[in-house]
Structure 1
Amino acid sequence: MTAKIALVTGASSGIGEATALKLQDLGYTVYGAARRTERLEPLADRGVLPLAMDVTDDASMRAGVERIITDSGRIDVLVNNAGYGSYGAIEDVPMDEARRQFEVNVFGAMRLAQLALPHMRAQHGGTIVNISSMGGKIHTPLGGWYHGTKFAIEALSDCLRMEAKPFGVDVVVIEPGGIATEWGGIAADHLRETSGTGPYAKQADAVATSLSSEANAKRNSPPQVIADAIGKAVTARRPRTRYATGFAARPMIAVRRILPDRAFDAVMRRATGIPA
């Protein structure tokens, strides 16, 4: 049997790297995509095929999918993992940065779905895995633009799931909780640069500290837990529509579902150390 083909974006580190290796262990031929291919060398040494791709560049995405189809003739799994957290007060974040956050986290993922779907429909099979976050179900202060992207991924995935079902294509949402990657430190740096001075400075300091604290780093789950969830999803005969996993994901989503808005606001203020 010809090996199934998977494309994983944001594969140079963290969740993407762990996922590429997991799918390879499951027997997939895996293309690991990132903007800088030199960061994919450790994966390439283990047999993952490196692919230069910028999810904000349409020509780059088209070229990447075309290479996969030319080389392999099919695409069975698309894991939309590329993304980052641009934290800062909604008032402070420049609109160019807000747009870039949506370009990377939302439009890049949906464009790759558009490019993969014709091939998956022709095969009458495939799985699109969109990496959301528990942040697609909850809200935190100074994370508005980031949460906006993840809420959008949740809604778009629901619609896409219904549209793709008649063609044998599954759409799965992964909702990570706290994961031990460089994400928190990058988000904290963005936050301090954007809102570290001015009227939101006290909030920014508290939230940045919570994002990058050593306590969080010790509690956070390893990226492998997300890779394992993706592995379950793509090999299941009938995958779940959502997999919430990783530190605090399930309890936080449950608390948000139960509590009224203002009560949840208070919980989040306490959790991030923001004065009432």
Structure 2
Amino acid sequence: MENQKVVVITGASNGMGFEAAKLFASKGWQVFAGARRVEKIPTAKNITALKLDVTVSESNHSFIQSILDKTGRIDVLINNAGYGEYGPAEEIPMENIRKQFETNFFGAVELSQLVLPTMRTQKFGRIVNISSIGGDLYMPLGAFYHATKAALQQWSDVLDTEVSQFGIRSIVVQPGGTESSWGAIALENAEKNLKENSAYQPIIDSLRGVFSGSMGAGATSAQLAEVFYKAATDENPKHRYFHSFGDRSIVHIARAHPRLFLRVFKIMMNRMAKNSK
């Protein structure tokens, strides 16, 4: 137990976080898995399930302190908790926008601040921030989701320049489409945030194919957990990790050739609109 490496994973009750907890545990790591729905965190040898709401500062402090009280060390923090508060930028209530940033961005920031003193004392550590190709790409209805992921990436890059001198790295994983309930939840949120007789209803109708996964779901959560593990354990980590060449390529196009990306995206949108009729 004393020689086990310690990994902390947020958002571990489903999807990528759930699979990552199982994967790290299977490889002998001591896993501390946090989520609001603690009963849904996987139960297995080496996994300790803890209650965590990343939007509540007291919960973040209690979570990290309880881990340090048990282990005295944290080797890797994986900031995975997140969701998509989709809907028209004009119509999403400010309360929901703030919740989106608290969950996807500020929670990761606070947890990182809480583990960094220990990592500096250790003179090693790694913070793996789970963003999305949506940190560079964008689509209608996702204004605030994309904003949080872009913020997470820029913050992570700046943090890396500050902490690498202490033997710590802050790096980003950018998943693409996944076989999970994420799309269904994003669609549910988009419809919830739509006002009655909204002028934006046609956009939601045209994007149902994307949310439902009909355009191709991409990687499984288990495959993305493998990417998490590589990002956490590579001897010389990259700044960005992707599951596939396609994910890496579309991010490159969006960053280097924004007009081309927009042209291709509009073509895809038109095709989806026709298919939804």
Equivalences for 1:114-133 in 2 at 5 Å? 114-133=113-132
Q: Give the aligned partner of residue 222 of structure 1.
A: 220
Equivalences for 1:94-243 in 2 at 5 Å? 94-195=93-194, 197-217=197-217, 220-243=218-241
Structure 2 residue matching 1:195: 3-state secondary structure:
coil
Deviations 1:128-150 (A, max 9, x none): 00000000011111111100000
Mapped partners of 2:60, 2:78: distance in 1: 13
Deviations 1:161-186 (A, max 9, x none): 01110111011100000011110110
Is there any run of 5+ residues in structure 2 with no aligned partner, and where?
none
Mapped partners of 1:57, 1:210: distance in 2: 32
CA RMSD of superposed structures (Å)? 1.8
Mapped partners of 1:72, 1:65: distance in 2: 11
- Which of 264, 267, 272 does residue 270 from structure 1 map onto? 267
Deviation of 1:158 after TM superposition, in Å, equals 0.4
Deviation of 1:44 after TM superposition, in Å, equals 1.8
Mapped partners of 1:247, 1:82: distance in 2: 25
Mapped partners of 1:70, 1:50: distance in 2: 15
Mapped partners of 2:103, 2:91: distance in 1: 20
Residues 195, 204 of structure 1: 8 Å contact kept = no
Mapped partners of 1:213, 1:129: distance in 2: 26
Residues 173, 231 of structure 2: 8 Å contact kept = no
- The one-letter code matched in structure 2 to 1:24 is A
Residues 9, 82 of structure 1: 8 Å contact kept = yes
Mapped partners of 2:266, 2:86: distance in 1: 16
Q: Give the aligned partner of residue 247 of structure 2.
A: 249
Residues 135, 149 of structure 2: 8 Å contact kept = yes
Mapped partners of 2:201, 2:263: distance in 1: 19
Deviation of 1:191 after TM superposition, in Å, equals 1.2
Residues 210, 272 of structure 1: 8 Å contact kept = no
Deviation of 1:258 after TM superposition, in Å, equals 3.8
Deviations 1:239-272 (A, max 9, x none): 11110225942232122134243x4223223323
- The one-letter code matched in structure 2 to 1:6 is V
The 1:97–1:246 alpha-carbon spacing in structure 2 relative to 1, beyond 3 Å, is farther
The 1:109–1:102 alpha-carbon spacing in structure 2 relative to 1, beyond 3 Å, is same
Q: Tell me whether 207-216 or 65-74 shows the greater mean CA deviation.
A: 207-216
Mapped partners of 2:194, 2:177: distance in 1: 23
Q: Give the aligned partner of residue 21 of structure 1.
A: 22
Q: How many residues align?
A: 271
Residues 174, 242 of structure 2: 8 Å contact kept = yes
Normalising to structure 2: TM-score of the pair?
A: 0.92
- The one-letter code matched in structure 1 to 2:95 is D
Q: Give the aligned partner of residue 7 of structure 2.
A: 6
Is there any run of 5+ residues in structure 1 with no aligned partner, and where?
none
The 1:248–1:46 alpha-carbon spacing in structure 2 relative to 1, beyond 3 Å, is farther
Q: Give the aligned partner of residue 36 of structure 2.
A: 35
Identity of aligned residues (%): 37
- The one-letter code matched in structure 1 to 2:232 is V
Deviation of 1:46 after TM superposition, in Å, equals 4.4
